[in-house]
Chains A and B, each alone.
Chain A
Amino acid sequence: AQKVTQAQTEISVVEKEDVTLDCVYETRDTTYYLFWYKQPPSGELVFLIRRNSFDEQNEISGRYSWNFQKSTSSFNFTITASQVVDSAVYFCALHHPGNTPLVFGKGTRLSVIA
C-alpha cells in the first residue's frame, strides 16, 4: 500500500521562528520519489522539491531544507526564519516510477504570524 501521512494538520508560528513539517510515507517499492508542494491561498500547487529514494543527502535551498531518512520513512521539511509569505498549505507526495499518479498527504496548514 502507498500512503503519505502528514500528522500535523495546522501549525502556527511567529515570524522568524523555524518550523518543521513532518511527512511519513509507506511503500513496498525500493524505487520511488518524494515531493513537497506549496499551496498558497490562491490555490495553485507550487512544486518545491523532488527527491529519489536512492539519494538520502539532505538538501538546502535558501531558507528551505529537507531531511530524508529512509530508516524512518520520513521526508521532513524545515523552513528557517519563517516569513508571513510562507503561510500556505504544504503537501508531501509519493510517486512511483512510470506513468503513475502522485499520492498526496492531507497537507499541513502553516500560518506565520507577524
Chain B
Amino acid sequence: EPEVTQTPSHQVTQMGQEVILRCVPISNHLYFYWYRQILGQKVEFLVSFYNNEISEKSEIFDDQFSVERPDGSNFTLKIRSTKLEDSAMYFCASSDRVPGQASYEQYFGPGTRLTVT
C-alpha cells in the first residue's frame, strides 16, 4: 500500500541553524500539508500546498518557514533559523479526493522529531 515517507525520523539541531525536513508524498496525490505537534499537545496545521504554491497557511507559519516541491517527488519544509520553541514532531500529509465524495483523505507520514538545543 502506498505511504507517505519522511526523513529524517529524528533531527537534532542547534538554535539558529537552518533545517530542512523532507517528505515523499504518495505519488499520484496533488495536495500536500505540514502539521506540527509540540510534545504533549495537539496536532496543528502549518501549511497546505497545491499546484506549486501555498494554498493556505496558519499563523504559526511565519517568515521563518518555507515549503518547496523541488522535484516531482519530494516536498520539503525549511525552517530558516530554528528556535527552541520549534522543537516538535512535524508531520507531512498528502491527499487526493475520495471517489464519489467531497472529502480529501489525508494520509500522514510517520513524522520527523525535531529537537532544537
Contact = CB atoms under 8 A, between A and B. Distances in A.
B28 to A, nearest CB: 15
A71 interface: no
A69 interface: no
Contact of A106 (B41, B102, B106, B108): B41
Given A43-B111, A95-B103, A99-B50, A106 B45 contact: no
Most buried by B among A47, A52, A99: A99
Interface string A40-67: 0001110100101000000000000000
B73 interface: no
Contacts of A103: 45
A97 B102 contact: yes
B44 A33 contact: no
Contacts of B106: 95, 102
A83 to B, nearest CB: 23
Nearest to B93: A102
Interface residues of A, number: 23
A105 B37 CA distance: 12
Interface residues of B, number: 27
- Interface of A: prevailing SS: loop
B105 A50 contact: yes
B102 A100 contact: no
Contacts of B113: 43
Contacts of A45: 43, 91, 108, 111
19 contacts: A43-B89, A43-B113, A44-B108, A45-B43, A47-B107, A95-B103, A98-B104, A99-B31, A99-B50, A99-B55, A99-B56, A99-B95, A101-B45, A101-B56, A101-B58, A102-B45, A102-B106, A103-B45, A106-B42
Given A99-B55, A102-B35, 19 more contacts: A43-B110, A44-B110, A44-B111, A95-B103, A95-B104, A95-B106, A97-B102, A97-B103, A98-B102, A99-B31, A99-B56, A99-B95, A100-B48, A101-B48, A101-B56, A102-B43, A104-B42, A104-B43, A107-B42
